[in-house]
Amino acid sequence: MNRPTRPPTRSGRLPPPAFLRALPGLSIPAIALLALLALPSCKRPSLADAGDPGPDKKTLRVITTTTMVTDMVQHILGDDPGVSVTGLMASGIDPHTYNLPARAQAKLRQADVVFYSGHHLEGRTDELYKSLKGRDILVTAVAESLPREKLLVPKGFEGNPDPHVWGDAALWAECVDGVLETLVKARPDKKDALIANASKYKSQLTELDTWVQQQIAQIPPEHRVLITSHDAFNYFGRAYGLEVIGIQGISTVDQAGLADIAKTTDLIKGRNLKAIFVESSVSPAAIERVARDANVEIGGELFSDALGPAGEMETVNGETYDVGTYIGMLKHNVNTVVAALK
């Protein structure tokens, strides 16, 4: 299945100020956005100023980053005509390497509320979202509302938590409260409706968590090994009892070396594993190489750092769901893993 590719960034920006050029490790799009944010903020440009007619000026403008965050925000908002939600990343986009195009920069400059996942999932642009605070913009890092003791901190990752918390449906449900708190601040007149929507969504995620446990129980314990391109499934593995092995590590910025591929190949052969999996937002090259070397099947494609295409319906065991939603995405992943490993 073909997935959308990451939109290209635009060129032709003015050189950033000297103090921004001195910041290490920032990409050109990141530096450009910081330069824009450094301008006086007495008037926030509208979408019309950016060449887009945009929504009515009375509309609350909400900007989200990843598709998982966008889906949660939309569930809590419900049908609110007074709010416009714009997701910066589409299906198939890798948030680790995503660069903000010029149009996204303009939308961030005029946002009222911004939600991003956090814990450096969005790569270098993570710092850009933090920099929006204090500019009359409500900014929330969804995953950073979780208690530190519930987070996984990989060895050699300089103390930074693993950002892929949505792999655990119960943990993702805990993130709802932080989003709700911010939206109530932005829409106090809609407080009761927002609380009701959030409560309903948390109940759905609790039911999903129970369903996942029941499905994974079908896999024999010795086959509960999940091998993918990068370490996006550690929370999933911890919550549902699978050993998780990612060839590339936590971030897709890392590259799988020959030693990583050889080590994974030996493990598959030694334990006689049934299948390994590709990811929707990551190049399949490393997994395909391992599959050839280990003579093992590719059990299917999993959604890791992005949801599936919105409105793409899938039916398994008589149940139909939209893989463009968080609930549908997790059901797809679980059904794919169970079918390949049981």
| Domains with residue ranges and CATH for the chain | 18-204 (3.40.50.1980), 212-341 (3.40.50.1980)
CA Rg, the chain, in Å?
A: 21
Burial 53-72 (b: 16+ CB within 10 A, else e): ebbeeeebbbbbbbbbbbbb
Q: What is the full DSSP assignment across 211-280?
A: HHHHHHTTS-GGG-EEEESSS--HHHHHHHT-EEEESS-SSTTS---HHHHHHHHHHHHHHT--EEEEET
Residue with tokens 């949801």: 307
Paired with 139 in beta bridges are 114
Averaged in consecutive runs of 10 residues, what is the pLDDT profile of the chain (342 residues)? 36 35 42 40 31 57 97 97 95 88 84 96 86 88 96 79 96 98 97 98 98 98 92 95 83 61 91 93 87 95 94 97 98 98 94
pLDDT value of position 42: 33
Residue 292 makes CB contacts below 8 A (sequence gap 6+) with none
Strands 313-316 and 319-322: antiparallel
Report which of 83, 170, 158, 70 is spatially closest to residue 119, judged by C-alpha positions. Answer: 158
Which residue type, as a one-letter code, is found at position 308? G
Q: Are 60 and 82 in contact (CB under 8 A)?
A: yes
Q: Are 105 and 99 in contact (CB under 8 A)?
A: no
Quote the pLDDT of residue 157: 62
**Structure tokens that stand for 206 in this block:** 């609790």
Report which DSSP code applies to 222.
G
Distances (CA, A) of 101 to 38, 77, 306: 18, 26, 18
Are 31 and 23 within 8 A, CB to CB?
A: yes
3-state secondary structure (DSSP) of residue 244: strand
Sheet of 83-87, strand order: 83-87, 60-64, 113-116, 138-141
Residues in CB range of 92: below 8 A, 6 or more apart: 3, 4, 5, 6, 280, 281, 306, 309
